[in-house]
Amino acid sequence: MTPMIDMVFLLLVFFMTVSTIAKSGFQVELDLAESTESDVPDDTSNRGMVSVDAEGEIYLGSNPVTIEALKSGIKADLAINPDLQVQVRADAQTQYADVKKLLKACAEVGAVEVIYATYQQR
Amino acid sequence: MAQLKKKPEDKVGVPIAPMIDVVFLLLIYFMVSSTLERQEADLSFQLPGTVEQDEPLELPDEQIIEIQQSGQIIVNEYPYDSVESTNLVELTAMLTRFRESSAANKVDAVVVIAPEDVVPHARIVHVMDACSKAGIEAVNFALDGDA
């Protein structure tokens, strides 16, 4: 009995830690839009993640940035990796004006490959 | 009386079975909640950029899809689908015809999405879904106007 309890506790602790680590600070929590046509990617390399929340606040990775800082950030990433794709994570309620600002900034610095992050609708 | 006194002493010890129950329950809870987290999926498109041109330019067929504040979709001043519709059947059918006619003329079918500033992102994703369903790969956004 004792070894089984040991093992079960170990698994329990493992899942608790993994789930908290996976959530913490890695990306901004958003309620993404639902899409019927999107695919879960196999290859997520060459990506720069930009998030926009419902209030229009822009995040590069998980840090809130101004549009100017965003431009220089993407520019720097693009210099290192010319195949950079910008993954835009916008909340379902984000207004187009805020997303447009972001798209304009991307186009201005030459990052033309854009991906919208969505949830798959089943 | 002597016998009655003895009885409780026999049962002293940590109750293992309920503890295992609880631990298993927690274990299953965490396993399920970790797998239930929804995966993010991709919808990609290309922004208009500067491209070098060494072949004569063939003008593509272009349709501009407007999205009004209410969520109403307008193409060539004609409204498609209702505001509540999320699968946009009419728009998809129209875009499919548009792609087929463009293919018949051997030109690219290009769609430009022009939402009003206050349109929520979810609505734009619906329209992109409709384009994808219709088989149109060239989707663009109208970025002009001051943002």
Question: Residues of B with CB below 8 A from A93's CB?
Answer: 120-122
Find tokens 């016998």 and name the residue. B3
Measured CB to CB, residues of chain B less than 8 Å from chain A are 16, 19-20, 23-24, 26-27, 30-31, 33-34, 37-50, 67, 87, 115-122, 124-125, 128-129, 132-133, 141, 143, 147
Find tokens 């509540």 and name the residue. B84
Model confidence at B58: pLDDT above 50: yes
Question: What confidence category does residue B10 fall into, taking pLDDT thresholds of 50, 70 and 90?
Answer: low
Find tokens 């309890």 and name the residue. A5
Inform me whether the C-beta atom of residue A5 falls under 8 Å from chain B C-beta atoms. Answer: yes
Model confidence at B11: pLDDT above 70: no
Nearest-neighbour CA in chain A from B5: distance (Å)? 30
Model confidence at A86: pLDDT above 80: yes
Question: Residues of A with CB below 8 A from B67's CB?
Answer: 96
Question: What confidence category does residue B3 fall into, taking pLDDT thresholds of 50, 70 and 90?
Answer: low
Question: What confidence category does residue A4 fall into, taking pLDDT thresholds of 50, 70 and 90?
Answer: confident
* Amino acid, res. A112: V
ipTM over 0.90: no
Model confidence at A41: pLDDT above 50: yes
DSSP structure string for B75-100: ETTEEES-SS-SS-HHHHHHHHHHHH
- Indicate which of A96, A100, A122 best probes the interface with B, i.e. most B CBs within 10 Å of its own CB: A96
Model confidence at B7: pLDDT above 70: no
Question: Residues of A with CB below 8 A from B133's CB?
Answer: 36-37
Q: What is the pLDDT of residues B94-146, one digit of tens each?
A: 889 988 988 888 888 888 888 888 899 889 888 888 888 888 888 888 776 54
**Pairwise CA distance, residues A82 & A103, whole Å:** 17
- Indicate which of B28, B47, B89 best probes the interface with A, i.e. most A CBs within 10 Å of its own CB: B47
Model confidence at B53: pLDDT above 60: no
pLDDT of B146 reads: 44
Residues 6 or more apart from B96 whose CB is under 8 A from it?
Answer: B133, B134, B135
| Partner-chain residue, chosen from A38, A94, A113, that has the shortest CB–CB distance to B120 | A94
Query: pTM for the full model?
Result: 0.74
Helix (H, G, I), strand (E, B) or coil at B58: coil
Find the mean pLDDT for residues A110-121.
85
**Pairwise CA distance, residues A104 & A52, whole Å:** 14
- Indicate which of A21, A32, A37, A71 best probes the interface with B, i.e. most B CBs within 10 Å of its own CB: A37
Find the mean pLDDT for residues A75-94.
88
Question: Residues of B with CB below 8 A from A74's CB?
Answer: none
| Inter-chain touch B129–A35, beta carbons under 8 Å | yes
